Structure 1
Amino acid sequence: MFEATKVGRSVSKQDYKEQQEELRTQLLEVQRELRHTNIPVIVLVTGMEAAGKGEVINRLNEWLDTRGVQTFAFWNESDEERERPRYWRFWRAMPQRGEISILFGGWYQTPIEHRFRGHCSDAELDGELNRIVDFERMLVQDGALIIKFWFHMSEADQKARLKELSRDDRSRWKMLPEKSKFSEHYAAFEQVAERVILHTDRGIAPWYLIEAGDRRYRDLTVGKTLLHALRSRLAENHTDEANGTPTSPELPASESAQITLLDQLDLDLTLPREDYKSELKQLQAELNELAWTAYTQQRSTVLVFEGMDAGGKGGAIRRITQAVDARLYRSIPVAAPSDEEKAHHYLWRFWRHIPRAGLMTIYDRSWYGRVLVERVEGFATVAEWRRAYSEINRFEEQLVDSGIVLLKFWIHISQDEQLQRFKDREAVPYKRYKITDEDWRNREKWPQYNEAVNEMIVRTSTRHATWTLIEGNDKLYARIKVLRTVCDTLNEALKGSVKPTAGYLPCGDKRIELLGSTGKPLISAAP
């Protein structure tokens, strides 16, 4: 498949000079237009070693307005990145809508190098590539434009370029260990690259194969391809705005759908106050020890709390934070997204707070807002919240695969109990801030929220991330059930040997990253 990248295309200095000026002008024009859209642009730059990927990135930063461009290189992982799921580092590099991120290697670099060096099998590589396809599809469905460049060259050209780079102290190649492997095993690397490209070349995010033997041809081809991709996407955006974005129709609800899992909860369950006090003291002491053990074993914990307004989420969270050393946890209250958060994929703001190894993050409301409040209040289209179930499941699977202990709680109360708590809040001065006009309005949509919650639980309670339903009419009972569930789960997770964190597993005397399991390539025309 790489024959078309070895034909020896070239561009003269004079032609390059003439074309570069016009190309740069057009790129700046289309970039200015991009700023006024909701389109984030992700440019992935990868390919053969010594093909000039760094040179191309520098050229793009020269041609474009750098105020709307950020460049990220994913070379050695920092301690922060190693202690989190692998995709955490990529989510941090996601551009805001209307801006461009250029990713050096991106999420392809590590899988390719690991397979080339024999650190994983073809089956493990394919598993990671499936995850990449899902990841890219999710970004595109959210409105992103992904442009993927693969730079290729003949074996003879690569050898000549590597010899040239060996004299450049700033080249990445010179800083890499085992440098000779790239030239000695050209065919093996090309075979891995072909497998990766064929597996991940999809219509929503196609590969552009760039012949990199001649620098001037390479740079112009990349610039023209980028310009064409941006113009095409902007034209589609104008069409969508003119016609209106279609949404999927709501499915009719049957009578049986009105009976939900929540209706099966026994909300009359109570716990005497004396029993509550003794159990609270015992469970909080146990949780304190478990939190320190998790820190020692470098096992992260993520707790998710959801529930109806006034359901008791805050009270349950306080009983947890009272037990855990403040240095070991962060509590994240989730409200309406900020302007910065709105400018990214909805999962972006939650990836930001994934804890480092050994620490705990508590989400007071979470990513489930997409299928709850955004669904019911119409802040998300039907298509957006329907596809969110699979996006959330894949997100949580990555957390668990990386070694994170994930617990999800839905604290449920009856409509009558909620009304009483609302009235109590209005009567107590220091609690009045908790009750708003929006809370009263939400009560009118209780049936819609009930239906949304039931579907959420059914579709996102998976083997790796089950929901724990909490009977919440009695606050004392609910708090103890939450604490007991957290303690029991951590006790089970911390037994025996230490599980891997951040997708790593000891392999001899090395640390090898585990690869998670979970149309036709485009070749740019000559300029």
Structure 2
Amino acid sequence: MFESAEIGHSVDKETYEQAVATLREALLAAQFELREQARFPVILMINGIEGAGKGETVKLLNEWMDPRQIQVEGFLLPTDEELARPPQWRYWRRLPPKGKIGIFFGNWYSELLVARAQGRIKKDRLEQAMEEIVRVERMLSDEGALILKFWFHLSKKQLKRRLRELADDPRQSWQISVLDWAQAKVYDKIVETAELVLRRTSQDFAPWYVIAGADPRYRSLSVGRILLDSLQVALKNRRHHRVNPHCAPLVSSIDQRGLLDSLDLSLSLGKDEYREQLLAEQIRLNGLIRDKRFRRHALVLVFEGNDAAGKGGAIRRVTEALDPRQYRIVPIAAPTEEERAQPYLWRFWRHVPARRGITIFDRSWYGRVLVERVEGFCSEADWMRAYGEINDFEEHLQRHGVIVVKFWLAIDKDTQYQRFKERESVPFKRYKITDEDWRNREKWDLYVDAVEDMVDRTSTALAPWTLVEANDKRHARVKVLRTINEALEKALARD
């Protein structure tokens, strides 16, 4: 894979200067259209052998283009804040918005290659990590991102010569670190792993480009032309609304409509029984959160349900048992302009709690397969592929110690109607009812279909759905607390 990059490719000065003049003009025009369209971001992954010209090339791109529209991110050793969360969190929070170019140094590939070279991960974990990366990049591509991955290469002989030249030049010797010389010693292992990673993760939606790094003019023109060609094709496709949905048709279960219908919505608790059980479960929850084993975990609670099903009341009974400094409630409404400029899951990754933390989502990422599906706020391709993206997201959280507990609070149409009318008649509850709530009732059956599909496709062993019979609020609140406690006990018992 790297043989051709080790050949002495070169470009003479006159040819280079002529090519750069044309290239800069075209890149600036493409960048201007990218900003004006603001329909997709560009993500450049910069990896390769140290000394192969990664930094110099990115510096040139900033000179050739408008640097105000380029976001360069360098990921060094993770901070304490990043270590307290799943590894992908640090990358998600720094993705470029639509219309801009993001350049990632020290990205998820660098992290993987260094860990493998140092013997911190075995081959089976490397294989698993590569599969995860491909899924993430496919998701980003499906969300519209243009992803280009560059490997800057030098042969072992070229690397050693490059290091010696820098060491002998007082103006450039500062660029060399102990790590550069250390990499030269494990060169063969790094290249062997890199070849495997590039083969497995180069996809049509996120291709790798191997750049010969010995000649600065050759490598700069190579990267610039690849970026220009890719941008022009992507901009043309967006102008003509061409998309690649990457989704499979939805297959309905034979008894699809039976799941919610099978709930016994008559379940209820008397006042005295409710007070006793509620207090017991709240005390139990408080003890589990203070358990020293929870220091290695975080908790994410997802509340979905019919309008007026009692999500707010259930959340309040949970938080009554918690220290206010330890939890955060995130109400999810229509996305802001900032959020619409990012991949769909970005606004949820922002709120992933650190270890020992708790995030409670009042509505969640499931909006894509519920309200956005039913109301037509996204394409069928978007909500169809969202099932797999959501499962990957929750699996990633679980694998890194985040306990995910999901609730669907279910009520029947008559109960919902009664609660709507009560909200209209009680002054301090009127803010809870809107015209949109009444309109949603007209699409009751469509929402039932969406919920059935959601549960069928995203209730996994790692993050199962709990369906809560919520016609009686007291029963619902106790069931929610008991389910959270059981999930915590199960997770802590494995430690």
TM bin, normalised by shorter chain, reads over 0.9
Match runs of 1:108-507 below 5 Å: 108-166=109-167, 168=172, 170-171=174-175, 174=177, 176=179, 179-240=180-241, 259-293=257-291, 297-495=295-493, 497=495
Match runs of 1:69-108 below 5 Å: 69-108=70-109
Q: Which runs of 5+ in 2 are unaligned?
A: none
Alignment-mate amino acid for residue 275 of structure 2: K
**Alpha-carbon deviation of 1:295?**
8.0
Q: Is the 8 A contact 1:43 1:148 kept in 2?
A: yes
Q: Is the 8 A contact 2:142 2:244 kept in 1?
A: no
Report the Cα distance in structure 2 between the residues aligned to 1:115 and 1:72, rounded to whole angstroms: 23
Q: Specify the alignment match of 1:522 in structure 2.
A: none
TM normalised by structure 1 equals 0.89
**Alpha-carbon deviation of 1:379?**
0.7
Q: Is the 8 A contact 2:42 2:96 kept in 1?
A: yes
**Alpha-carbon deviation of 1:125?**
0.8
Q: Is the 8 A contact 1:411 1:472 kept in 2?
A: yes
Q: Is the 8 A contact 1:112 1:192 kept in 2?
A: yes
Alignment-mate amino acid for residue 18 of structure 2: E
Structure 1 residues 202 and 251: CA distance shift in structure 2, 3 A:
closer
**Alpha-carbon deviation of 1:380?**
1.3
Alignment-mate amino acid for residue 9 of structure 2: R
Deviation per residue, 1:51-78 (Å, 9 max, x gap): 1211112221222212211011111101
Structure 1 residues 296 and 403: CA distance shift in structure 2, 3 A:
closer
C-alpha RMSD over aligned residues: 2.0
Report the Cα distance in structure 2 between the residues aligned to 1:398 and 1:198, rounded to whole angstroms: 23
Q: Specify the alignment match of 2:33 in structure 1.
A: 33
Report the Cα distance in structure 2 between the residues aligned to 1:295 and 1:494, rounded to whole angstroms: 6
Q: Which runs of 5+ in 1 are unaligned?
A: 498-527
Report the Cα distance in structure 2 between the residues aligned to 1:125 and 1:196, rounded to whole angstroms: 9
Aligned length: 491
What SS does the corresponding residue of 2:325 show, helix, strand or coil? helix
Q: Specify the alignment match of 2:16 in structure 1.
A: 16
Report the Cα distance in structure 1 between the residues aligned to 2:442 and 2:251, rounded to whole angstroms: 20
What SS does the corresponding residue of 2:94 show, helix, strand or coil? coil
Q: Is the 8 A contact 1:294 1:358 kept in 2?
A: no
Structure 1 residues 198 and 248: CA distance shift in structure 2, 3 A:
closer
Q: Is the 8 A contact 1:269 1:474 kept in 2?
A: yes
Structure 1 residues 251 and 304: CA distance shift in structure 2, 3 A:
closer
Report the Cα distance in structure 2 between the residues aligned to 1:159 and 1:275, rounded to whole angstroms: 77
Report the Cα distance in structure 2 between the residues aligned to 1:362 and 1:432, rounded to whole angstroms: 24
Q: Is the 8 A contact 2:256 2:452 kept in 1?
A: no
Greater mean alpha carbon deviation, residues 423-432 or residues 183-192: 183-192
What SS does the corresponding residue of 1:486 show, helix, strand or coil? helix
Report the Cα distance in structure 1 between the residues aligned to 2:85 and 2:408, rounded to whole angstroms: 25
Q: Specify the alignment match of 1:58 in structure 2.
A: 59
Report the Cα distance in structure 2 between the residues aligned to 1:367 and 1:432, rounded to whole angstroms: 27
Report the Cα distance in structure 1 between the residues aligned to 2:292 and 2:409, rounded to whole angstroms: 25
Deviation per residue, 1:139-185 (Å, 9 max, x gap): 111111001111111211101222344565653x5153xx5442123
Q: Is the 8 A contact 2:42 2:145 kept in 1?
A: yes
Q: Is the 8 A contact 1:35 1:98 kept in 2?
A: yes
**Alpha-carbon deviation of 1:285?**
2.1
Report the Cα distance in structure 1 between the residues aligned to 2:395 and 2:54, rounded to whole angstroms: 33
Deviation per residue, 1:347-387 (Å, 9 max, x gap): 00000000011100000000000000000001111111111
Report the Cα distance in structure 2 between the residues aligned to 1:338 and 1:294, rounded to whole angstroms: 38
Report the Cα distance in structure 2 between the residues aligned to 1:403 and 1:487, rounded to whole angstroms: 16
Structure 1 residues 348 and 265: CA distance shift in structure 2, 3 A:
same
Q: Specify the alignment match of 2:48 in structure 1.
A: 47
What SS does the corresponding residue of 2:409 show, helix, strand or coil? strand
Q: Is the 8 A contact 2:301 2:359 kept in 1?
A: yes
Deviation per residue, 1:465-487 (Å, 9 max, x gap): 10111100000010001011111
Q: Is the 8 A contact 1:260 1:451 kept in 2?
A: no
